[in-house]
């Protein structure tokens, strides 16, 4: 199950530098001019989770396989993108294919790095991109509703439902609110998602600060934090330059460097975890002598659906899931200890998998 997070922002805010650090490559050209990223760069990154290392140590697993997330570095946006300005059409098409948005905001002062609007105002930058996404959605909604008129007259039930949802989104946008603020009934979730509206994408604000401000942030990042809280979104503070330096170091050197900078962990670890949380994902584990592996599922996933992430046959032939809570696995020093302590449970088809569950699936072939 793959999840894509699009890294977006105005030109010269540190998008490509952040992407480089995330993927530990120089695949995205970082340069001080707009649109240096012409084609979206894609990179898979491991989701940091120290629970996996602890499980592997207890089970003496030969291999550790973390869960992964895909980040897409998307071309810089400018005002008017919804009307095709700059690389607007391409930007909007690329972002439509992602599950969430990591919006990199310039929160640093540097006269040597130009800003497309000749000022440093991350809140205004965020509003610029939000507005362009909403304007693009509005144009799309109006066209689609016009195209549904004939079907609605013919009593096409799906067209009626689709038009109802599009009308909800249109009303929100016309009131200067992104479509994600609409309250959607669970029965409508599937169709709502199929509309692929840009402003329904969950947003994580990434405050790119100067090196000396990486630990505490600054006035700009505080303004973003207030904006994010008001919107019900989240934010993280990173210094893209620091993160890129760290990404080139060996693990021990990186740890020493972080300590010297007064940082407990790399900002990118927080960013990846925040992306995981933004998409309402959680992790379960399979553990054995061969490998300890993390698997990504949506919160609220049933045991058979979780089994299907490993292989479709596991879901189709699901019998039960032998399940141990992570804390119990650690406290009992492994599967055998958990069994002896009565901490292994046999869960059926209705069981909702919990974050950290250690699972073994039994199924019919």
Domains in the chain, CATH or no CATH each: 4-278 (3.40.50.300), 300-363 (3.10.20.30)
Q: What is the pLDDT of residue 81?
A: 47
Q: What is the pLDDT of residue 86?
A: 46
* Measured distance CA(224)–CA(124) in Å, rounded: 10
Per-residue pLDDT tens for 76-117? 655 554 455 444 456 677 888 888 999 999 998 877 666 666
User: How far separated are the first and last CA of the chain, in Å rounded?
Assistant: 22
The pLDDT of 123-146, averaged and rounded, is: 91
Handedness of CA 280, 100, 215, 24 (dihedral sign): positive
Q: Is the pLDDT of residue 134 over 70?
A: yes
Per-residue pLDDT tens for 52-65? 999 999 999 999 99
The pLDDT of 218-226, averaged and rounded, is: 95
Q: How confident is the model at residue 32 (pLDDT cuts 50, 70, 90)?
A: very low
**Which 3 state secondary structure label does DSSP give 360?**
strand
Q: What is the pLDDT of residue 110?
A: 79
For residue 206, which of 259, 274, 127 has the smallest C-alpha distance? 274
**Which 3 state secondary structure label does DSSP give 190?**
helix
4-8 and 68-73 beta bridge pairing? parallel
| Best mean pLDDT range from 78-87, 93-102, 147-156, 344-353 | 344-353
How far from the centroid of its chain's Cα atoms is residue 142's Cα? 29
If 0-12 CB within 10 Å is exposed, 13-18 middle and 19+ buried, where does residue 259 land?
exposed
For the chain, what is the radius of gyration of the CA atoms?
A: 23
Residues of the chain with pLDDT > 70, as a percent, come to 88
If 0-12 CB within 10 Å is exposed, 13-18 middle and 19+ buried, where does residue 148 land?
middle
The pLDDT of 154-166, averaged and rounded, is: 94
Q: How confident is the model at residue 42 (pLDDT cuts 50, 70, 90)?
A: confident
* Measured distance CA(364)–CA(341) in Å, rounded: 28
Q: What is the pLDDT of residue 223?
A: 96
Question: 196's torsion region: left (phi>0), alpha (psi -120 to 50) or beta?
Answer: left
The pLDDT of 316-326, averaged and rounded, is: 96
Question: What does pLDDT average to over the chain?
Answer: 86
Q: What is the pLDDT of residue 138?
A: 93
* Measured distance CA(162)–CA(166) in Å, rounded: 6
For residue 36, which of 6, 9, 60, 56 has the smallest C-alpha distance? 9
For residues 277 and 341, the model is more confident at: 341
Residues of the chain with pLDDT > 90, as a percent, come to 54
Cβ atoms of 53 and 64 closer than 8 Å: yes
Q: Is the pLDDT of residue 36 over 70?
A: no
Q: What is the pLDDT of residue 45?
A: 83
Question: 280's torsion region: left (phi>0), alpha (psi -120 to 50) or beta?
Answer: left
* Measured distance CA(73)–CA(87) in Å, rounded: 14
Q: What is the pLDDT of residue 118?
A: 67
Residue 43 forms beta bridges with which residues? 71
Q: What is the pLDDT of residue 113?
A: 67
Q: What is the pLDDT of residue 302?
A: 97
Per-residue pLDDT tens for 185-213? 999 999 999 998 999 999 999 999 998 89
Q: What is the pLDDT of residue 117?
A: 63
291-298 and 63-65 beta bridge pairing? parallel
Give me 101's structure tokens. Answer: 């948005």
Residue 97 forms beta bridges with which residues? none
Q: What is the pLDDT of residue 30?
A: 43
Q: Count Cβ atoms below 10 Å from residue 141 Cβ, excluding itself.
A: 22
If 0-12 CB within 10 Å is exposed, 13-18 middle and 19+ buried, where does residue 189 land?
exposed
Q: Is the pLDDT of residue 26 over 50?
A: no
Q: How confident is the model at residue 262 (pLDDT cuts 50, 70, 90)?
A: confident
Per-residue pLDDT tens for 282-317? 999 999 999 999 999 999 999 999 999 999 999 999
Q: Count Cβ atoms below 10 Å from residue 296 Cβ, excluding itself.
A: 21
Q: What is the pLDDT of residue 17?
A: 84
Q: What is the pLDDT of residue 82?
A: 47
Q: What is the pLDDT of residue 80?
A: 55
């Amino acid at each position: 199950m793959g999840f894509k997070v699009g890294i977006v922002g105005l030109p010269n805010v540190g998008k490509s530098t952040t992407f480089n650090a995330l993927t530990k490559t120089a695949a995205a050209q970082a340069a001080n001019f707009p649109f240096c990223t012409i084609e979206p760069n894609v990179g898979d990154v491991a989701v940091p989770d120290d629970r996996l290392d602890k499980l592997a140590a207890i089970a003496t697993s030969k291999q550790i396989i973390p869960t992964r997330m895909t980040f897409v570095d998307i071309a810089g946006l400018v005002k008017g993108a919804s009307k095709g300005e700059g690389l607007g059409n391409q930007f909007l098409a690329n972002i439509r294919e992602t599950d969430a948005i990591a919006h990199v905001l310039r929160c640093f002062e540097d006269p040597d790095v130009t800003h497309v609007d000749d000022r440093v105002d991350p809140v205004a930058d965020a509003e610029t991109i939000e507005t362009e996404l909403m304007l693009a959605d509005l144009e799309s909604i109006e066209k689609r509703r016009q195209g549904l008129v004939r079907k609605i007259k013919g009593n096409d039930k799906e067209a009626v439902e689709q038009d109802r949802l599009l009308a909800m989104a249109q009303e929100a946008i016309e009131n200067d609110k992104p479509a994600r603020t609409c309250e959607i009934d669970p029965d409508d979730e599937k169709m709502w998602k199929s509309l692929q509206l840009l402003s329904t994408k969950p947003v994580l604000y990434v405050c790119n600060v100067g090196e000396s401000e990486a630990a505490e942030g600054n006035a700009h990042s505080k303004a973003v934090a207030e904006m994010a809280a008001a919107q019900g979104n989240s934010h993280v503070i990173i210094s893209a330059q620091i993160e890129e330096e760290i990404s080139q170091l060996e693990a021990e050197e990186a740890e020493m460097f972080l300590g010297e900078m007064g940082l407990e962990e790399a900002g990118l670890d927080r960013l990846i975890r925040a992306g995981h949380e933004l998409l309402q994902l959680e992790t379960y584990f399979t553990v054995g002598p061969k490998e300890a592996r993390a698997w990504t599922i949506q919160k609220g996933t049933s045991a058979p659906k979780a089994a299907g992430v490993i292989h479709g046959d596991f879901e189709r032939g699901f019998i039960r899931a032998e399940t141990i809570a992570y804390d119990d696995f650690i406290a009992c020093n492994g599967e055998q200890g958990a069994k002896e302590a009565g901490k292994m449970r046999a869960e059926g088809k209705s069981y909702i998998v919990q974050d950290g569950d250690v699972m073994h699936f039994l199924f019919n072939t």
